[in-house]
Amino acid sequence: MKILLIGTGGREHALALALNADPQVTDLYAMPGNPGIATVAQLVPGNGQDGEQVAQAAKRLGVDLVVVGPEAPLVAGVADAVRAAGIACFGPSAAAAQLEGSKAFAKEVMQQAGVPTARALTCHNQGELDDALAEFGAPYVVKEDGLAAGKGVVVTDDLAQARQHGADIFARGGKLIVEEFLDGPEVSLFCVCDGKTVVPLAPAQDFKRALDGDKGPNTGGMGAYSPLPWAPADIAEQVVAQVALPTVQQMARRGTPFTGLLYCGLALTSKGLRVVEFNVRFGDPETQVVLARLRSPLGQLLEAAATGKLAGFGPLAWDEQAAVCVVLASAGYPKKARKGDEITGIDQAEQLAGVHVIHAGTAREGESLVSSGGRVLAVVGLGQGVAAARARAYAGMEKISLPQGHYRSDIAKAKA
Ligand code: AMP
Ligand code: GLY
């Protein structure tokens, strides 16, 4: 099987490693990829955002399947262009990608499907915002409606900050939703979907705040671990039954079937599980830990989803080890990330048992490897139990240096 993978981040490096490990995958291409992906795939020029360009490349390369990593090309309709060219694609249509592209749309579908989520109000101006903030009270949850790379959400007790976040969104011409605060631990569950059937992967948890102790601003994600020893043993089945399957069925009824990865971001509250958000692609950095443990062939799984044959796909096999990943971010992230700093020590980290490094924002500059984005890389540790995996991830991180790079020291701490 020949596969073209679209994307450039840590999630795509993790996808590339798992696709490359599938014995049926003979040729792996990546557009545009990154220096880590280049070790297992042939890089293809292009930004991956333009459907025609991706479809042309897929035809020229003669691939059987296109796998789209990030949300932006999905929302822009890249999967539609690939399918129109007669090539199978793992990733939803632009219409179905609105589950992530618009939080208001996602709320509407959840309401129709009877999926439990926080009560929410859509606001178009400051007056509506003030009314909604007064109705829900603190802690305030204010979310930009469109795509914002994980940075469009403010959760705060400070009314002025909640109002200011809203004012910034309105000033850009956007709309927002205000919703009920959900307490309780968060779980990310990835569901592979073929329009009708849902196959869940192993649950993971990510760490969204920039600083230790869940302080600082929200980021794209600073670390993750899987499995979740504290979660109910049947969490995946519960989420499929209460959330993923009803959503996939509702999307089919609406005439916009969902084929691809439905990322269910959940809070396990005292009143039961609630959806915090949907994404329409693998999570970053949860993918780095989930796929590190997957023993079933990923290429065959994604192809079965893309061609409507998931019902025949047997139960998934998992490594019994736990995985923990810690993200190294560049100076200034998430506000304004500095680029061009030299990264050293990756080889030394990977010499340690049970450690591998995932590239995200890295680039080659002559002989050296430099930072080229906010989240630069992630160190993944595998071990018997979360504590052992965590120790390995941090031992690996200590070998790596990046001027003024920063990472959290409490990823998966006390989660064993
Ligand atoms: P989202 O982009 O919707 O996933 O929000 C980003 C993060 O903000 C989530 O992972 C939560 O940590 C937090 N968050 C979002 N919605 C809520 C909510 N209703 N109650 C509490 N925290 C939330
Ligand atoms: N880790 C959160 C996300 O991928 O949206």
Dist. CA 394 → ligand 1 center (Å): 27
| Secondary structure class of 66 (helix, strand, coil) | strand
Asked if residue 19 lies in contact with residue 293, where contact means CB atoms within 8 angstroms, the answer is no
415: confidence class by pLDDT, cuts 50, 70, 90: low
Residue nearest (by alpha carbon) to ligand 1 atom 10: 208
Choose the residue to mutate in 266, 277, 278, 281 for probing ligand 1, maximizing ligand atoms within 8 Å of C-beta.
277
CA dist list (Å): 34 to 59, 120, 201, 213, 316: 22, 39, 25, 31, 29
Ligand in nearest proximity to the CA of 375: 2
Task: Read off the pLDDT of residues 171-226 as tens digits, 9 standing for 90 and up.
Answer: 888 889 899 999 999 999 999 999 999 999 999 999 999 999 999 988 989 999 99
Choose the residue to mutate in 277, 279, 288, 325 for probing ligand 2, maximizing ligand atoms within 8 Å of C-beta.
279
Distance CA 252, CA 258 (A): 7
pLDDT of residue 150: 61
Dist. CA 287 → ligand 2 center (Å): 9
pLDDT of residue 236: 96
Neighbours of 124 (CB within 10 A): 12
Ligand 1 binding pocket, CB closer than 6 Å = 118, 141, 143, 150, 153, 155, 179-182, 186, 208, 218, 265, 276-277
Radius of gyration of the chain (CA): 20
Dist. CA 168 → ligand 1 center (Å): 18
Q: Is 284 in the pocket of ligand 2 (CB under 6 A)?
A: yes
Summarize the confidence of residues 385-390 as an average pLDDT. 97
Query: Is the per-residue pLDDT at 153 higher than 90?
Result: no
pLDDT of residue 151: 65
Ligand in nearest proximity to the CA of 276: 1
Task: Read off the pLDDT of residues 220-266 as tens digits, 9 standing for 90 and up.
Answer: 899 999 999 999 999 999 999 999 999 999 999 999 999 999 999 99
Dist. CA 119 → ligand 1 center (Å): 13
Dist. CA 153 → ligand 1 center (Å): 7
pLDDT of residue 314: 76
- The full length of the chain comes to 416
Residue nearest (by alpha carbon) to ligand 2 atom 5: 283
Query: Is the per-residue pLDDT at 416 higher than 60?
Result: no
What is the overall mean pLDDT for the chain? 95
Distance CA 409, CA 398 (A): 11
Dist. CA 68 → ligand 1 center (Å): 24
Q: Which pair of tokens denotes residue 201? A: 């992967």
Task: Read off the pLDDT of residues 295-348 as tens digits, 9 standing for 90 and up.
Answer: 999 999 999 999 999 998 878 999 999 999 999 999 999 999 999 999 999 999
Domains and CATH numbers, the chain: 2-94 (3.40.50.20), 121-179 (3.30.1490.20), 186-312 (3.30.470.20), 322-407 (3.90.600.10)
